Amino acid sequence: MIRLILPIVFFFICTHPQAAEPEPAQVWSAWQASAELHVYPQSLEPLGINLERRGQRVADGQLLAFDSVDLGSLALYAPAGNFERFIDGSLTLDARLRLARGEHEVIVDRLVISPAPGETLPVLIISDAAGRALFTASHIHVYTVPERSMLRMDRMDVRMTAELADRLGVPEHAGHFVGELEMLADLHIPEGASLAVEGGQCDDRPRWATDGHRLDVELTAMGQVSDRGTVIVDDRVYKIMTPSATLRNDTDLEAADVPWWRKLTGSFPPHDNDQHPYLIWNLYRIVDGRLEHLAASGIKHAFTTININCTLNCGDGGISGGWGHILWPGCVDIYGVGNNDSNCDLGPRHEVNPRTGIFESVGSFFDPGSTGTNTNCSSAPGENRLMVWDEDLKTADAQYYFDAWYVIRDDVDIFNGMGFHPLTPNNTSGNNWSFQLGAFSQGPAADVWVSPGSDPASGASNELFHDPDIGHFKVLTRTQQVSAERWRYTYFVMNYDVDHGIEGLLIPAPTQGTSPGDFHFNDPDYDGSNDWPITIDPDAIRFDDPGGNPVAWGTGYTFEFEIDAAPVAGEVEILLGSSAPVSSVSVPATVPPFPELIFADNFE
């Protein structure tokens, strides 16, 4: 942990290049600070980097404490007392650090913390006294607390810069996640500063979705996916992968405000519970024309929102305990890798109903004794993390995709709350990985395999099913001719928010005389004992849950076979869980033809 004691000093105010010059009363300063740096487990040691503090070795997982040097303060723009951005200035720490790897050595006498220029979201640069950048600190939860004259800067992702990675001889690990930084500083509020939003725009807020206001929150970025360590299960080596995430509320002033109450903290409006958003993430692979869901995370329970770049920021909204717990119109919120990898905020997915957004906290994973308090956290190796077998990251000629999505109660569009990146895994050394991300796309990751709107008669289909009492799921199909008379059919069933689960897939097919075979099944649990068995009926091919392994929400299963029949447009039957309002539904898809349909679409 870093602890800073810094005096207030004079500073030069400069404006953000893309923003109007702040009024003097809106420029506040932070000083007399304390801070903590947590070097995360499995962060430096797997890279062979030795960290010392004043000659004493610092192991991964430990905290670092530093004394301050009486230099510097930070200027920040805080209209109505709400943090918007850093302006200028710096804080200096007495570091006395040594980082070494083999023949490479970096000695750091002082650390200088200053705002990174040109960033749309707050980022700090941590440099040595010579101005050489060592680390970045991003995804910062920044809050002003005017009634206590305090500035909080929490949950910052600390990453190695390219310059430091080069100096340590590991250039491939530029951007490597090191740990989290937190800071607490005294806040100087200038004379004439107002804590009121101009024009009384907050007088009738919050406006809840329960009062008829439209709630629509978008995932706008991930930014990083990081290797968060190794877990060995039954002699298999698994990698833990965790993303960062950025979201934004609807910019319209008539949009709903979003409740953001931390789990197990009480009952609050508008639902008289501890309502908050949730985040999940997944890894997929496309190889040999087949889409597979490789690995899935647990569910991250969001606990506070920083509210920056807002259309309107009403602070605590006049609600006791509301500070940081309401997302206002247009506000951006960010969560870093360290934040999303938090033991006490990651739980099992099945405890949240994704269709309603409701979490029954009492008696849950976090409160097994029904005490109404958080008494349990994810503690077993890899518990509630996304764990992927490292051999699955080495598949030749494969394409990988990583997605994340928010589950938010009353959200009118679940799909703009999702997004994905193409991902390139790089096995840098030993069992250390870095993950290069391609361009971010909003929406379901499965759509990269088959485009929405594809005509089932063309040999590929992507069909969305939605019913308000059942939820959303997709059935995607791709076919491939493998010989003169033989075709491969691959189906991918993706469950977005069907809380009842999906327990069967029935594909009409002329199985007599067409030699169905070469069956393939994939789910993301790495447990072959619960794979779905295949049944060949005279007029259908069935895949059925053997019990206890339905297609749960947030997951996708792959079903495949080959058959001597070219594709046509038709329907498949999806069997739902026993608690669903109906037992099954039919969905358009590409299917094998029955004899009377063979010449119907000119495929033959």
Lowest-pLDDT range of 102-111, 210-219, 253-262, 316-325: 316-325
The pLDDT-based confidence of 16 (bands split at 50, 70, 90) is very low
Ramachandran angles phi, psi of 589, nearest 5°: -165, 165
Name the more confident of 124 and 597: 124
pLDDT at position 599 over 60: no
Provide DSSP, 98-140: EEEETTEEEEEEEEEEEEPTT-SS--EEEE-TT--EEEEEES-
User: What average pLDDT does the segment 164-181 reach?
Assistant: 96
Lowest-pLDDT range of 24-33, 44-53, 387-396, 536-545: 24-33
User: What average pLDDT does the segment 126-142 reach?
Assistant: 96
**Burial of 96 per CB tally in 10 Å (0-12, 13-18, 19+):** middle
Beta strands in 297-429 (DSSP E): 299-301, 326-327, 332-335, 346-347, 352-353, 358-359, 386-389, 399-407, 418-429
The total of other beta-carbon atoms located within 10 Å of residue 119's CB is 15
Distances (CA, A) of 513 to 506, 519, 520: 19, 17, 20
Reduce the DSSP state of residue 345 to 3 states and report it: helix
Per-residue model confidence as pLDDT tens digits over 271-288? 999 999 999 999 999 999
The pLDDT-based confidence of 89 (bands split at 50, 70, 90) is very high
**pLDDT computed for residue 7 by the predictor:** 31
The pLDDT-based confidence of 523 (bands split at 50, 70, 90) is very high
Nearest alpha carbon to residue 281 among 355, 335, 330, 353: 335
Per-residue model confidence as pLDDT tens digits over 326-358? 999 999 999 999 999 999 999 999 999 999 999
H or E element, residue 338: helix 337-340
User: What average pLDDT does the segment 50-61 reach?
Assistant: 94
The pLDDT-based confidence of 321 (bands split at 50, 70, 90) is low
Q: Which domains does the chain have, with CATH numbers?
A: 24-188 (no CATH), 201-445 (no CATH), 450-597 (2.60.40.1170)
Name the more confident of 519 and 185: 519
How far, in whole angstroms, is CA 9 from its chain's centroid?
39
Task: Give every CB contact of residue 289 below 8 A, 6+ residues apart in sequence.
Answer: 478, 480, 488, 490
pLDDT at position 17 over 90: no
pLDDT at position 228 over 90: yes
**pLDDT computed for residue 596 by the predictor:** 58
pTM, to two decimals? 0.93
pLDDT at position 11 over 50: no
The pLDDT-based confidence of 293 (bands split at 50, 70, 90) is very high
Percent residues over pLDDT 90 in the chain:
84
The pLDDT-based confidence of 602 (bands split at 50, 70, 90) is very low
Provide DSSP, 562-602: EESS--EEEEEEEEEPTTSSSSEEEEEEEEPPPGGGTTTTS
Nearest alpha carbon to residue 202 among 357, 37, 358, 79: 79
Beta strands in 517-564 (DSSP E): 517-522, 534-537, 540-544, 555-563
- DSSP classification of residue 65: -
